[in-house]
């Protein structure tokens, strides 16, 4: 398995896992204040995707993520690899939007994305849905010009392009050979009948089957996700899973779970 797709967490002291943020920069800053006071060398911090989209403060959310990364890395013995960002449905949608000129039916795709909350991320980089729709109707050349402008705006925001490039599909605690053991962190879902390298977009698009997981996934004792597409139960824990979506970006709260490396939930905090 390529570490360019998956983040190997080793055997950390604790893992702090942050649920879907959806552009709620205020709650993220409040949560960071709590985590920052207690994060120690040997800990890991995993953001479970859907950091952008929906909420109005996407740019501020990314700036807060980057600021907190610098803050945490200033602590003694904390490494860059201790902080992990997962790709969620919103991040995947944004990357697809930046290549919209290659879609066979770009107007239909864009309208679907708008319904899924991409307008907030568009606004963060000076774009509008109306301009994108007009460009899609005008043809591939106009659409390419529009997406290139958005890409340039993202790259001109310090650190934003690098953060999107650093996204991983999933993260897991690992043994000395780098194989998954005990804990797996995903955005929304997992097909327990498939190995990790065959999950692809199931990580962010297969969330509806997540509540039916009722047994370990190989050597993984607990699977943790950050986004619940049904917005049904809120944060909850089962014998084999944990869901940390508190509804941030939809008027709810932002949730962080702190786990021991064997999968035990040590605490759950909200902002």
Q: Looking at the structure, tell me whether residues 80 and 101 fall in a common domain.
A: no
Q: Is 161 among the domain residues?
A: no
The predicted structure's pLDDT at residue 233 = 78
Q: Looking at the structure, tell me whether residues 186 and 265 fall in a common domain.
A: yes
Q: Looking at the structure, tell me whether residues 139 and 103 fall in a common domain.
A: yes
Q: What is the 3-state secondary structure (H, E, C) of the chain?
A: CCCCCEEECCCCCCEEEECCCCCCHHHHHHHHHHHHHHCCCCCEEEECCCCCCCCCCHHHHHHHHHHHHHHHHCCCCCCHHHEEEECCHHHHHHHHHCCHHHCCCHHHHHHHHHHCCCHHHHHHCCCCHHHHHHHHHHCHHHHHHHHHHHHHHHHHCCCHHHHHHCCECEEEEECCCCCEEEEEEECCCCCCCCCHHHCCCHHHHCHHHHHHCCCCECCEEEEEECCCCCCCCCCEECCCEEECCCECCCCCECEEEEECCCCCEEEEEEC
- Does 231 score more than 90 pLDDT? no
Q: Looking at the structure, tell me whether residues 254 and 126 fall in a common domain.
A: no
Q: Which of 102, 136, 156 is where one domain is finished? A: 156
Q: Looking at the structure, tell me whether residues 173 and 266 fall in a common domain.
A: yes
Q: Looking at the structure, tell me whether residues 151 and 172 fall in a common domain.
A: no
Take residue 188 and report the two structure tokens written for it. 């929304």
**Number of other CB atoms surrounding residue 112 within 10 Å:** 12
Number of structural domains in the chain: 2
Supply the CATH number for residue 212's domain.
Answer: 3.60.21.10
Q: Is 226 among the domain residues?
A: yes
The structure's pTM equals: 0.96
Q: Which of 156, 177, 195 is where one domain is finished? A: 156
Q: Looking at the structure, tell me whether residues 46 and 173 fall in a common domain.
A: yes
Rounded to whole angstroms, the Cα distance separating 154 from 20 reads 21
Q: Torsion-angle region of residue 207: left (phi > 0), alpha (psi -120 to 50) or beta?
A: alpha
Residue 34 near residue 269 (C-beta atoms within 8 A): yes
Name the pairing type of β-strands 44-47 and 170-174: unpaired
Q: Looking at the structure, tell me whether residues 80 and 177 fall in a common domain.
A: yes
Domain holding 212, by residue range, is 6-88+167-270
pLDDT digits (tens, 9 = 90+) for 83-131: 999 999 999 999 999 999 999 999 999 999 999 999 999 999 999 999 9
Q: Looking at the structure, tell me whether residues 82 and 102 fall in a common domain.
A: no
Rounded to whole angstroms, the Cα distance separating 182 from 216 reads 9
Mean pLDDT to the nearest integer, 8-37: 97
Q: Looking at the structure, tell me whether residues 82 and 96 fall in a common domain.
A: no
Q: Looking at the structure, tell me whether residues 142 and 59 fall in a common domain.
A: no
pLDDT digits (tens, 9 = 90+) for 71-86: 999 999 999 999 999 9
pLDDT digits (tens, 9 = 90+) for 123-179: 999 999 999 999 999 999 999 999 999 999 999 999 999 999 999 999 999 998 889
Q: Is 162 among the domain residues?
A: no
Q: Looking at the structure, tell me whether residues 113 and 245 fall in a common domain.
A: no
The predicted structure's pLDDT at residue 261 = 95
pLDDT above 70 covers a percentage of the chain that reads 99
Q: Which of 134, 156, 178 is where one domain is finished? A: 156
Name the pairing type of β-strands 44-47 and 15-18: parallel
């Amino acid at each position: 398995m390529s570490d360019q797709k998956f983040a190997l967490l080793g055997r950390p002291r604790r893992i702090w896992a942050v649920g879907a943020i959806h552009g709620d920069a205020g709650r993220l800053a409040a949560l960071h204040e709590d985590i920052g006071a207690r994060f120690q060398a040997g800990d890991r911090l995993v953001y479970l995707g859907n950091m952008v989209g929906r909420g109005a403060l996407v740019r501020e959310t990314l700036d807060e993520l980057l600021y907190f990364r610098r803050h945490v890395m200033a602590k003694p013995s904390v490494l860059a690899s201790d902080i992990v960002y997962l790709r969620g449905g919103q991040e995947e949608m944004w990357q697809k939007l930046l290549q919209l000129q290659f879609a066979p039916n770009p107007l239909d795709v864009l309208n679907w994305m708008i319904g899924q909350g991409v307008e907030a991320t568009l606004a963060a980089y000076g774009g509008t849905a109306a301009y994108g729709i007009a460009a899609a109707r005008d043809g591939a050349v106009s659409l390419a010009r529009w997406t290139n402008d958005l890409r340039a705006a993202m790259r001109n925001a310090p650190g934003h392009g690098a953060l999107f490039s650093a996204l991983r599909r999933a993260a897991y605690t690992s043994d000395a050979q780098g194989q998954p053991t005990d804990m797996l962190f995903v955005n929304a879902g997992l097909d327990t009948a498939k190995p990790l390298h065959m999950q692809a977009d199931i990580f962010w698009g297969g969330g509806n089957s997540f509540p039916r997981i009722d047994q370990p996934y190989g050597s993984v004792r607990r699977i943790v996700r950050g986004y619940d597409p049904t917005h049904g139960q809120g944060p909850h824990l089962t014998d084999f899973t944990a869901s940390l979506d508190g509804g941030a970006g939809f008027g709810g709260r932002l949730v962080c779970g702190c786990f021991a490396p064997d999968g035990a939930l040590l605490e759950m905090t909200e902002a």
